[in-house]
Amino acid sequence: MQQQFEAVSMTGGHGTNSYANNSLLQRDGANLVKTMIEEAVAEKLEIDTFPSVGTFNITDLGCSVGPNTFLAVQTIVKALEHKCASLGLSSCMPEFQVFFSDHSSNDFNTLFASLPPNRPYFATGVPGSFYGRLFPKASLHFAYSSYALHWLSKVPKEVLDRNSPAWNKGRVICLGGPREVFEAFSRHFGRDVEAFLSARAQEMVSGGIMGLIILGRDDKVAEAKSPIGVIGGVLGSVLMDMAAKGTIEEAKVDSFNLPIFTPTAKEYQKLVESNGYFSIEKLELVRDDSDRSSDVAIDPKMLAMHGRAATEDMVRKHFGHEVVDEVYQRGEKKIMENSHLFKNANVLLPSLFVILKRKADPQIA
Ligand SMILES: C[S@@+](CC[C@H](N)C(=O)[O-])C[C@H]1O[C@@H](n2cnc3c(N)ncnc32)[C@H](O)[C@@H]1O
């Protein structure tokens, strides 16, 4: 039995269950690294060496529907304006073109309808997977992506194969179960990162910068106890409870996996180095167990709503719309029972903050 989805989409629109209304934790993460983005533009971006700075091209890859993407883009454009002014380019300030990019199934209508008025940039939508080419060669100056690159291009086929040692029976996440499952996801993630970086290497100008926030994993925390391991465990056990009650088929649970892999800093560093097109200017885990800088208060309902906005589309396509409400009501209850595991946003979303710079390559740039 195959999963009934390929492209992952967040819940669109502006309703109660929408991603736009349930993405505060991601927004908080982007806010925490705002200063680091500003520093990367100020210190690492050599605008004056670019062949033409008439138009500065920026993209947000996996932008979803906002408002997070608009805030991120605003930070980047302001930092660029500041940089140009500091280089004395004020009288011939480049124009800014922003490409909002996501799967074609993303709710681009809502995104376009909520674009900030009086924005200091031209806005364009670019549909398609960031695991392939999206832009012409050497056309991008700054690529940003937040909380999107942990989504794999698809679920590795071994974990859906009941004859494979990597079969992920009765579980929906790759953390805390058989080693073979983790390894299948890890290998697939490695291939996806290679595809992502190779596509961007073609598209970015030499010296162009990527600022990435990726849901990550702290190598000091046991995989099953990592926040995504715990949340995935909750969803898996809710689905198994519903299978035991006969509301859904157990075989359907066995064939459902969240296509998510959360790398450690070391794992990601190795992949970037083996790709070879980008220098690593910064790569660190933020919002880890020791970080208490966020004051976002988590409650079980909020957590269940965030989980719902990110996974409802997949759950509906695989199990049918009639079970969706029950899945997330049960999820909220289970989170409440385990609320000691979810103290604040930092514990919840350990994130890799990565700044990469496109190396000079005479064949491409
Ligand atoms: C959790 S949302 C993050 C949205 C926004 N960047 C933020 O920080 O709030 C992840 C987004 O990544 C998109 N995404 C996942 N895989 C993708 C892929 N292969 N290509 C393009 N977009 C993808 C999803 O459609 C979704 O909109």
- Which pLDDT tens digit goes with each residue over 229-278? 888 999 999 999 999 999 999 999 999 999 999 999 999 999 999 999 99
Distance 352 CA to ligand 1 centre (A): 16
Q: Which of 103, 152, 313 to mutate to test the pocket of ligand 1 (most atoms within 8 A of CB)?
A: 103
Q: Where are the domains of the chain?
A: 24-358
Distance 221 CA to ligand 1 centre (A): 26
Give the whole-angstrom CA distance, residue 292 versus residue 345.
9
Which pLDDT value is given to residue 94? 87
Distances (CA, A) of 226 to 43, 67, 92, 342, 350: 33, 27, 49, 10, 9
Count of CB atoms within 10 A of residue 211's CB?
27
Distances (CA, A) of 72 to 79, 119, 143, 145, 192: 11, 13, 11, 9, 24
Bin 70: left if φ > 0, else alpha if -120 < ψ < 50, else beta. Answer: alpha
Which pLDDT value is given to residue 318? 95
**DSSP 8-state class, residue 271:** H
Distance 201 CA to ligand 1 centre (A): 20
Q: 158: closest CA among 173, 180, 175, 178?
A: 180
Q: Which of 5, 9, 10 to mutate to test the pocket of ligand 1 (most atoms within 8 A of CB)?
A: 10
Distances (CA, A) of 222 to 196, 217, 235, 264, 271: 28, 9, 19, 12, 22
Q: Ligand 1 within 6 A of 22 CB? A: no
Report which ligand 1 atom has the smallest distance to the Cα of 129.
20
Spatial CB neighbours of 138, under 8 Å, sequence gap ≥ 6: 202, 203, 204, 205, 206, 364, 365
Report which ligand 1 atom has the smallest distance to the Cα of 29.
8
Q: Ligand 1 within 6 A of 306 CB? A: no
Residue position matching structure tokens 């993405």 = 23
Distances (CA, A) of 12 to 17, 68, 215, 256, 257: 9, 14, 21, 22, 22
Q: Ligand 1 within 6 A of 64 CB? A: yes
Distances (CA, A) of 336 to 231, 234, 237: 12, 11, 14
Residue type, 218: D
Give the whole-angstrom CA distance, residue 257 versus residue 232.
9
Element (H, E) at 351: strand 351-358
| Beta-ladder partners of 285 | 352
Q: Low-confidence residues of the chain, pLDDT below 50?
A: 4, 364-365
Q: Which of 69, 147, 152 to mutate to test the pocket of ligand 1 (most atoms within 8 A of CB)?
A: 147
Which pLDDT value is given to residue 31? 81
Q: Ligand 1 within 6 A of 23 CB? A: yes
Distance 160 CA to ligand 1 centre (A): 24
Q: Ligand 1 within 6 A of 212 CB? A: no
CB of 265 closer than 8 Å to CB of 283: yes
Spatial CB neighbours of 86, under 8 Å, sequence gap ≥ 6: 42
Distance 303 CA to ligand 1 centre (A): 18
Pick the residue whose CA is nearest to atom 11 on ligand 1: 62
Task: Please count the residues of the chain.
Answer: 365
Q: 158: closest CA among 255, 262, 243?
A: 255
CB of 41 closer than 8 Å to CB of 209: yes
Provide the whole-model pTM: 0.93
Count of CB atoms within 10 A of residue 49's CB?
11
Q: Ligand 1 within 6 A of 10 CB? A: yes
Give the whole-angstrom CA distance, residue 60 versus residue 75.
12
Q: Which CATH number is correct for 24-358, 3.40.50.150, 3.40.190.10, 3.40.630.30, 3.30.1490.20?
A: 3.40.50.150
